[in-house]
Structure 1
Amino acid sequence: MSRFLIICLLLSNLFTNEIFASSVAPQSDVPQLDEPYIEIGYKSVGKALKECETLNQRELKLPIKLPPMEFTHHLGRCVNDKENYNDELQIEYLHESHGKNHYMIDVRPIEQKLAYGKLKRDGKKYKFKDGSEAVYFTTKSPKARGGFNILLFEKNGWQYRLSVDSRIGNHVTADVLFGIAESVK
């Protein structure tokens, strides 16, 4: 008799959960944070990467490391400039409740690289094992509330720009960004 009662309770619980789950309104396929990004062409990082590789007719390697922080979203887009001057893969890592958890990877064909002038000259220099250099600088100024800490380097025919919100610069340091850059093979 007790086995019968246990089975009935289990079936009743299963049936009740099934009815409850089916009566809950389905959530949107796209989280609210993603919607504005999708409207301007962002999609999955994998799709954006493939699109840029096809556009530029060559392989693009991404860093395999990330900053030591939590992200809830990662999106990418391949910018295809019709003038062929500003082609770029843009990847954003975001956290829906912590706006300062913002990390970006921007990659351009070396033929369309950006110069950065004085920022690059005055920045902290790093050397890769192959002898190439990376430069770390910030866009934060005493008058501005925000800004980004940036590591700029060239590898495999691409110019990479790794950027992190300057508010977390004490957590994601220049050395951390350089470690991420070294993970590009």
Structure 2
Amino acid sequence: MIKIKAIFINVFYCTIFLTSQANATPDVPPFEKPYLEIGYKSVGEALKECETVNQRELQLPIKLPPIQFTYHLGRCVNDKGNYNDELQIEYLHEAQGKNHYNIDVRPIEQRIDFEKSKRGKKKYKLNDGSDALYFSTKTPKSRGGFNILVFEKNGWQYRLSVDSRIENQVTADMLIGIADSLR
């Protein structure tokens, strides 16, 4: 009789545990949680949201830098004053903080004029004949920063940014190749 009670209690608690696990929402990985809390979601969802907000199609480059990423997240920033609308995409690696690549896209009407920046800039020509501007936010006193390529295409201003700590792995020419993969 005691064995039957023990088996019954064991089955009862296992059933409750399994039912609660089946109905529970999966835990969000700690690395991803702060991004989700500030509005990041899947890149596809963020892209569709920005296309709806801006009432036009938005294309993304086909190529990515040749480094590993464990997460890719996006968010559509819809500024109430229509000054800072932007699609922000983050490619990150949980264990390799330097593996960080961003794509930021804003409507051409809200473009940022990087020409006036005092940073050392280099101009490039894309395959379609349009100009691209390359510069770095890294300073001699800083340990990090981003190498950035800015260009305009199809009514959008694109900023491709890669962590400057991997500039030997992801060069300006590679960012140009990524920009040229945009159709």
TM-score normalized by structure 2?
Answer: 0.84
1:99-110 → structure 2 map (5 Å cutoff): 99-110=97-108
TM-score normalized by structure 1?
Answer: 0.83
Write the distance in 2 (CA, Å) between the matches of 1:94 and 1:135: 24
Name the amino acid aligned to 1:130.
D
Write the distance in 2 (CA, Å) between the matches of 1:157 and 1:120: 26
Write the distance in 1 (CA, Å) between the matches of 2:149 and 2:28: 31
Aligned Cα RMSD in Å? 1.8
Partner of 1:175: 173
- Unaligned segments of structure 1, at least 5 residues: 1-21
Deviation at 1:130, TM superposition (A): 2.3
Does the aligned pair in 1 maintain the 2:126–2:179 contact within 8 Å?
no
Partner of 1:134: 132
Give the count of matched residue pairs. 162
- Unaligned segments of structure 2, at least 5 residues: 1-17
Deviation at 1:120, TM superposition (A): 7.6
Kindly tell me: are residues 68 and 127 of structure 1, through their superposed partners in 2, closer, same or farther at Cα, counting changes over 3 Å? same
Moved more, 61-70 or 125-134: 125-134
Write the distance in 2 (CA, Å) between the matches of 1:174 and 1:50: 29
Aligned to 1:83, what secondary structure does the other structure show? coil
Partner of 2:78: 80
**Percent of aligned pairs with the same residue?**
73
Moved more, 118-127 or 164-173: 118-127
Partner of 2:142: 144
Write the distance in 2 (CA, Å) between the matches of 1:75 and 1:41: 10
1:166 is aligned, of 164, 167, 179, to: 164
